[in-house]
Structure 1
C-alpha cells in the first residue's frame, strides 16, 4: 500500500514526487509512467527555455509559478551541476502596428516583477546584430537548459528519498474504495491512499476514469521546428521572439539557442491528429474523433480561422515557414534551415471554445488532477510540485511525519 501514487513520469510528476517526499519524509511514494523512459513527451520535446513569466496574466498561477520557478530552476541547476545559461532574450516588434502590443507586454512584465529593458532598434542590433525590428524588450532572466537532464536529477532525488519509479506501467482504471484507491495497470494493481494525476496529454482521460470531470478536454497541438545549419548559427546570439498576438495562444515562430549550441527555429502550431503525434502522418482514430466531435474545438477553430490557416500553410510549406523567420532575421534562407524534432503541447480546451490559459489543478476523491500544464510548466515544475504538496489534504496516518515547507 502506497501513501501517494503519481501518474506520469514527466517533469511535473517527478517534481511533485520530490516535493511530497520532502513534505512527508516517511511516505511511501510511487511514480507510474507508461513509457519505458521518463520525460518522453512534453518534457523531452520542448525548446529547453527557462521562461521569465513576462507573458502571463498578473496574479495567475502561470505568472507566479513561472517567475518564482525561473529562479528556483536556476538555483537547482547550480546546486546539482546541470548545464544551463541565463542568456536573456529579446522580444521585438517588426512593424509599427506592433508597438502598442510591445508596450503592453512590457507593462505586464513590470507588473510581474521582472527585470526588463526597453530597446531601440539600434540597441537590439547591439545584442542581436542580424535582427531587423522597430523596437524591442530585453528580458534578462530568460535562460536555457536541457529539461531531460533536470527530470533525471529529479528521479535521483525521489529515489534517494525512498520513492519508487515504475516504468512501462499504464493505468487503465481507477477504483475508489472506502479508505484507499486501486489503480489497475497493464502490470497488475497498485493500492494507494492518494492519487496525483500528472499524465499530461492524457490527463483529462485519467481524470475521467477517476470519476472527475475537469470541465475541459485536452486538444494536442504539434509544434514543428527547423534548425539552423551549423555554419549559420552565428545569426543568433541568444533568444529572439516576436511580439505575440494576444488573441492567439502561441508565441509565434522564434529563434532559440539550445544549451548544446544548436539553434532551433519555430515552432508553428497545428492540430495533431494523435495525442502523441510527432509526425504529420501520425493519426489515432480515437484521438482525432474526440477532437472533431468536440464543440469547443469548432468554436476555437472559427475564432482563429485566419491564424490557423497560416499555421497549416507553414506546416506544409518550408518557404512560408522561412518567410516568417525572415521577419525577424532577413538573412535567413531556405538553405540555412533543416527540419528537426517536433513537440506536442497538451492544451486544455473548454466546451465554449476558450482555451484554459492557466495551470489547472482539479480536486477529486482522494486525488488531485493536473489537467492543464503546458508551457511554462517545465520552468515552473519545482513551484507546481510544492503547490501540489501543500494542497494535498493532510493524511491522518502521516501527520506525525509532516514537515512544513
Structure 2
C-alpha cells in the first residue's frame, strides 16, 4: 500500500510529491499522470513568467504564496542548474484612467511588500524605446523560465527520493473505504492511505469521482497567443503589461520575452469549448454540455457580455487583437503576429456565479483536492506543495 497517491503530474502535483518526500523521507508516494509526459497540460501552456505578486489582494493566500514562490522558484532553479532570467516587468499606463488605476495597483503591491518603482514617460522611453506610455510601474524581480524544465527536475527529485511517476495512467475511479483510497487507473489499481488530486482542468470531475460535494464548476478560458518574427524579438527587453481593468479577472494582452528567445503577444480570454482542446476550433461535446447546464455560468456571464463579445471579435480578427498591443507598442503590424500555441485557464466558478479567484481546497478524511489553483500557480507551486504536504501528512497521522 502506498502512503500517498497524487493525481496529476503538473507542477503543483510534482511539487507536492517532492514536499511530502522532503518532509517525511521514505514515504511511499506515487504520482499518476494521464498524458505521455509530465507538465503536459496548463503547466506547459503558460507564459513562463516568474511573477512577483503585485496584483493580488493584500493578505490573500494567493499573494502570500506568490511572494514565497518567486524566491523559491529562483532558488530551486539555481540548485538544479535550470536557466532563468530576471528581466523585470513594466506595467504601462497610456491615459489618465490607467494612471489612476496604476497608482491603486502600486498601493496594493506595497501592502504585499512587493518591490516596485514608478517610472515616468521619459525614463520609460529610455528603458524601452519601442514602448509608449504616460507612466509605468517597474517590477524588477519578475523573471522568466521554462516550467517544463522545472517539472522534469521535480520528477527526477521524486524518483531519486523513492517515489514513482507513472504516465499514461488516467484515473477511472476513486473509492474511499476500509481505511484507504482505492484508485483505478489505466496502469492498474493503486491503494493508498491518502490521496491528493491536482487535476487542473478536470478538478471538479475528479473531486466528484472521489465522492466530494462539488459546488463549483471548472470553466475553461482559452488564452490565445501570437509570437513575433525573429527580426522583431529585440523589440522589448522586459515584460510589458497594460494596466489591468480591476473589473475583469484577466491581466490583458502583454508582450513577453520567453526564455528561449521568442517574444509572445497575448493572451486574450475567450470561453473554451473543450477543457483540453488547445488547437483552435477544438470542441468537446461533454464540455459544451457541462457549460450549457451550469447555472453558475449563466449567472456569471451577464456581467461580461460586452467584454466577451470583444474578446471573440479579437480572436477572429488579428487587427482587433493588434490594437490592444499598439496602444503601448505602436510599431507592431499585423504581419508581426505569427501563430503560437494557446493556453487554457481553469477558472472555478461557484453555483452563485462568482468567479473564485483564490486557491480552493476540498477534502474528506483521506482525500485532499486542489479545486482551484489560479495564476500564479506555477510561480507559487513550491510553497503550495509544502502546504499541501503538511495537510496530507496530517491525515496520515
TM range (shorter): over 0.9
CA offset digits 1:91-146 (Å, max 9, x no partner): 01111111111011101111111110011111212221111111110001100000
SS in 2 for 1:307: helix
Deviation at 1:392, TM superposition (A): 2.1
Please give the residue correspondences for 1:44-123 in structure 2 after superposition, counting only pairs within 5 Å: 44-123=44-123
Residue 35 (structure 1) aligned with residue 35 (structure 2): yes
Q: Which residue of 1 aligns with 2:371?
A: 371
Change (3 A) 1:193 1:236: same
CA offset digits 1:235-292 (Å, max 9, x no partner): 1111000011111111000000000111000000111100001123211111111011
2: CA distance, partners of 1:188 / 1:30: 13
Q: Which residue of 2 aligns with 1:125?
A: 125
> What is the TM-score when the length of structure 2 is the normalising length?
0.98
SS in 1 for 2:159: helix
* 1:8–1:34 Cα contact (<8 Å) kept: yes
1: CA distance, partners of 2:33 / 2:279: 22
1: CA distance, partners of 2:12 / 2:112: 23
* 1:174–1:209 Cα contact (<8 Å) kept: yes
2: CA distance, partners of 1:155 / 1:222: 27
Q: Which residue of 2 aligns with 1:9?
A: 9
Residue 250 (structure 1) aligned with residue 250 (structure 2): yes
Q: Which residue of 1 aligns with 2:239?
A: 239
2: CA distance, partners of 1:23 / 1:237: 39
Q: Which residue of 1 aligns with 2:383?
A: 383
2: CA distance, partners of 1:9 / 1:188: 17
Structure 1 ranges of 4+ moved more than 6 A? none
1: CA distance, partners of 2:140 / 2:262: 21
Query: What RMSD over aligned residues (CA atoms) do the two structures have, in Å?
Result: 1.0
1: CA distance, partners of 2:67 / 2:214: 26
Q: Which residue of 1 aligns with 2:337?
A: 337
Q: Which residue of 2 aligns with 1:230?
A: 230
SS in 2 for 1:289: helix
1: CA distance, partners of 2:327 / 2:307: 16
* 1:214–1:371 Cα contact (<8 Å) kept: no
Deviation at 1:168, TM superposition (A): 0.3
1: CA distance, partners of 2:303 / 2:82: 42
More displaced stretch, 384-393 vs 50-59: 384-393
Residue 211 (structure 1) aligned with residue 189 (structure 2): no
Q: Which residue of 2 aligns with 1:176?
A: 176
* 2:366–2:395 Cα contact (<8 Å) kept: no
* 2:357–2:374 Cα contact (<8 Å) kept: no
2: CA distance, partners of 1:233 / 1:280: 24
2: CA distance, partners of 1:213 / 1:255: 40
* 2:92–2:133 Cα contact (<8 Å) kept: yes
1: CA distance, partners of 2:184 / 2:392: 22
Deviation at 1:337, TM superposition (A): 1.8
Long gaps (5+) in structure 1: 400-405
> What is the TM-score when the length of structure 1 is the normalising length?
0.96
Deviation at 1:353, TM superposition (A): 1.3
SS in 2 for 1:375: coil
Q: Which residue of 1 aligns with 2:294?
A: 294
Aligned length: 397
SS in 1 for 2:122: helix
* 1:15–1:382 Cα contact (<8 Å) kept: yes
SS in 1 for 2:178: coil
Deviation at 1:295, TM superposition (A): 1.3
CA offset digits 1:163-191 (Å, max 9, x no partner): 00111001111111121110111232110
Q: Which residue of 2 aligns with 1:303?
A: 303
Deviation at 1:393, TM superposition (A): 5.0
2: CA distance, partners of 1:300 / 1:317: 25
